[in-house]
Amino acid sequence: MRSLIFALLASVVAASRYVVYFDQWHAASLPTRNATAGITHVVTAFASSTLFTTDPPGVYRPFMNLTQVRGLFAPGTKVCMAIGGWGDTAGFSAGAATEETRKLYAKNVAATVKRLGYDCVDVDWEYPGGNGEDYKQNPNSNKTSEIETYPLLLAEIKKAIKCKELSIAVPGREGDMIAFTAEQIPKISDAVDFVNLMTYDLMNRRDNATTHHTSIQGSLDTVNKYISLGMPASKMVLGFAFYAKWFMTAPGYICYAAVGCPTVLLEAADGTDTGNSGAMTFETGNFAPLPSNLTETPDGTCGAGTAFKCKSADCCGQWGFCGTEVGHCGTGCQAGFGRCEGASTKESFKKALASAKYDSLAGGAWYWDSAFNIFWTWDTPAIMASKFDQIVVPKGLGGVMAWSLGEDSLDWSHLYALQAGVKNLKGSDSDSGN
Ligand SMILES: *[C@@H]1O[C@H](CO)[C@@H](O)[C@H](O)[C@H]1NC(C)=O
Ligand SMILES: *[C@@H]1O[C@H](CO)[C@@H](O)[C@H](O)[C@H]1NC(C)=O
Ligand SMILES: *[C@@H]1O[C@H](CO)[C@@H](O)[C@H](O)[C@H]1NC(C)=O
Ligand SMILES: *[C@@H]1O[C@H](CO)[C@@H](O)[C@H](O)[C@H]1NC(C)=O
Ligand SMILES: *[C@@H]1O[C@H](CO)[C@@H](O)[C@H](O)[C@H]1NC(C)=O
């Protein structure tokens, strides 16, 4: 009996996953092996979903040699290939459609991970059933069959990659859980080894009032929703964001609290971005002085983390591309890297971090910049620690996940917060075994 208990405890410890996404847009400044210690899975992002729909498949070239990727982590860390990402759904829709397309898709995924030497696969379909970036062009009503075909595609991929692990990234907002019904979740759960909960971006540009994007309460609501739909807690890993989000609030309003302050229009009627919201990472480039060796961009990229400025007439937008649209020139434009018409969110962010408020009811850090009507929402290392105590442990989750590694390069404090939290998890497991 005792040995059975020890065996069970050992399996609990072994099952605890510490997953980080490593994205191609944030590879300029990377952590030491000390900072990455404890990570069990690194997920490189992204391979395009459309590569796997053809026979033969398209050729995926990872943004970094996998030998180099492995060198950033402890020996034995699994390196997974993420497919898809925000805005990339077409290949999944096509791949999931019929038994024939599913088999081809799965065969192609398996061949690609074998060719490149990946240990695991992450399907990042945002989202099966709709509410993706193109929801106004390709309506949800055109995607209802995906509710049925999504678990079938996952099962086919799992069958093809055999003992390699399969994970999925799933929406944090209840309204986006279109394909995650009580009927489908057992099938989804059976097909995958673990589930990356995107418990961030819980406020997005489709909202018209402020709230936290990754608060303790918001994350807990997502977890409870999936549990109520039948997702096993032990398969879910809790997502953390290594970035803040900002939203413009309506003129004339003073935002006294984090929740419920009206915003300006954040998304246009055709589903496009109005340029009135965005994200700000904790990467070193966002806090550094302007590089002294700026040169004109050879490829349209610019801004924090690069030494590239735009052509004189162009603006450098928050996402690091030159252009002349409101998204490049308006709020969030990167002054010094190009022309700028809007407020500098970098300056506002520094103010927010220095004067942060804490909403103890929801469990979230926030700030409202009255000079520019900008609302900020983010996670501090202390709030991250609380999420272990208030969510990961009591709900019996299977671990934690972060988006994304290179976004924390200022001081790696969020990464270290996860490392400490994971270490405590293991510590308390072995304590109870003694
Ligand atoms: C890394 O960790 C080792 C062992 O804990 C320690 O001796 C060393 O000083 C650390 N290095 C850095 C750069 O923090
Ligand atoms: C990856 O990099 C290593 C070390 O730099 C090199 O030996 C190896 O040939 C590279 N592999 C590929 C597939 O490029
Ligand atoms: C509806 O979905 C099909 C299959 O994915 C696609 O080919 C078609 O373009 C979609 N319709 C619209 C209006 O986008
Ligand atoms: C804001 O969104 C809510 C929920 O989507 C909606 O009911 C409400 O009418 C909207 N308010 C405004 C002012 O657009
Ligand atoms: C600019 O300077 C930085 C810091 O000295 C250096 O890392 C980078 O490679 C330089 N970039 C170019 C394009 O010269």
Residues 232-281: tens digit of each pLDDT: 999 999 999 999 999 999 999 999 999 999 999 999 999 999 999 999 99
pLDDT digits (tens, 9 = 90+) for 55-79: 999 999 999 999 999 999 999 999 9
Q: Whose CA is nearest to atom 9 of ligand 5?
A: 307
Ligand 5 touching residue 430 (CB < 6 A): no
Q: How far is CA 2 from CA 5, 7, 183, 433, in A?
A: 5, 9, 38, 10
Residue 12 pLDDT class (50, 70, 90 cuts)? very low
Distance 34 CA to ligand 1 centre (A): 6
Which of 29, 293, 301, 308 is the best mutation target for the ligand 5 pocket, counting ligand atoms within 8 Å of the beta carbon and taking the most?
Answer: 293
Distance 180 CA to ligand 2 centre (A): 40
List all residues 6 or more positions away from 135 whose beta carbon is below 8 Å from its beta carbon.
271
Which of 93, 102, 150 is the best mutation target for the ligand 3 pocket, counting ligand atoms within 8 Å of the beta carbon and taking the most?
Answer: 93
- Nearest atom in ligand 3 to 90's CA: 5
Distance, CA of 373 to chain centre: 26
Give the separation between CA 247 and CA 331, rounded to whole angstroms.
Answer: 10
Q: What is the largest CA-CA distance in the chain?
A: 74
In a 13 Å sphere around the CA of 52, the CA atoms on its Cβ side amount to 33
Distance 296 CA to ligand 3 centre (A): 40
Distance 208 CA to ligand 4 centre (A): 6
Per the listing, tokens 């988006």 go with 403
Give the separation between CA 137 and CA 351, rounded to whole angstroms.
Answer: 38
pLDDT > 60? residue 4: no
Q: Which ligand is nearest to the CA of 65?
A: 2
pLDDT > 80? residue 111: yes
Ligand 1 touching residue 360 (CB < 6 A): no
Phi, psi of 149 (to 5 degrees): -85, -20
Ligand 3 touching residue 413 (CB < 6 A): no
Binding pocket residue ranges, ligand 2, CB within 6 Å: 65, 67-68
Give the start-to-end residue ranges of the domains of the chain. Answer: 2-242+380-431
Q: Which ligand is nearest to the CA of 140?
A: 3
Distance 307 CA to ligand 5 centre (A): 6
Q: Which amino acid is at 200?
A: Y
Percent over 90 (pLDDT), the chain: 93
Residue 53 pLDDT class (50, 70, 90 cuts)? very high
Sign of torsion over alpha carbons 54, 132, 22, 281: positive
* 421, containing H or E segment: helix 413-433
In a 13 Å sphere around the CA of 128, the CA atoms on its Cβ side amount to 26
Distance 102 CA to ligand 5 centre (A): 46
- Position with higher pLDDT, 344 vs 160: 160
Ligand 5 touching residue 294 (CB < 6 A): no
pLDDT for residue 429: 57
Length of the chain (residues): 434
pLDDT for residue 20: 98
Cα-Cα-Cα-Cα torsion 407, 412, 417, 421, nearest 10 degrees, comes to 90
Phi, psi of 254 (to 5 degrees): -105, 125
Total-model pTM: 0.92
Q: Whose CA is nearest to atom 14 of ligand 2?
A: 65
pLDDT digits (tens, 9 = 90+) for 28-48: 999 999 999 999 999 999 999
Q: Apex CA 196: angle with CA 205 and CA 431, to 5°?
A: 130
Q: How far is CA 293 from CA 296, 306, 308, 336, in A?
A: 10, 10, 9, 12
| Partner residues linked to 62 by β-bridges | none
Percent over 70 (pLDDT), the chain: 95
Pick the CATH number of 2-242+380-431 from 2.160.10.10, 3.20.20.80, 3.40.50.300, 2.60.40.10: 3.20.20.80
Give the separation between CA 277 and CA 399, rounded to whole angstroms.
Answer: 30
pLDDT > 70? residue 434: no
- Nearest atom in ligand 1 to 34's CA: 1
pLDDT for residue 169: 99
pLDDT digits (tens, 9 = 90+) for 326-384: 999 999 999 999 999 988 899 999 999 999 999 999 999 999 999 999 999 999 999 99
- Nearest atom in ligand 2 to 66's CA: 1
pLDDT for residue 382: 98
Beta strands 165-170 and 194-197: pairing type? Answer: parallel
List all residues 6 or more positions away from 78 whose beta carbon is below 8 Å from its beta carbon.
40, 41, 42, 119, 120, 165
Q: Whose CA is nearest to atom 7 of ligand 2?
A: 67
pLDDT for residue 344: 87
pLDDT > 80? residue 431: no
Residue 10 pLDDT class (50, 70, 90 cuts)? very low
pLDDT for residue 427: 76
Task: Please name which of 78, 69, 61 lies closest in space to residue 22, comparing C-alpha atoms.
Answer: 69
Give the separation between CA 189 and CA 181, rounded to whole angstroms.
Answer: 12
pLDDT > 70? residue 428: no
Distance 65 CA to ligand 2 centre (A): 6
pLDDT for residue 65: 96
pLDDT > 50? residue 432: no
Query: What token pair was written down for 338?
Result: 């190009």
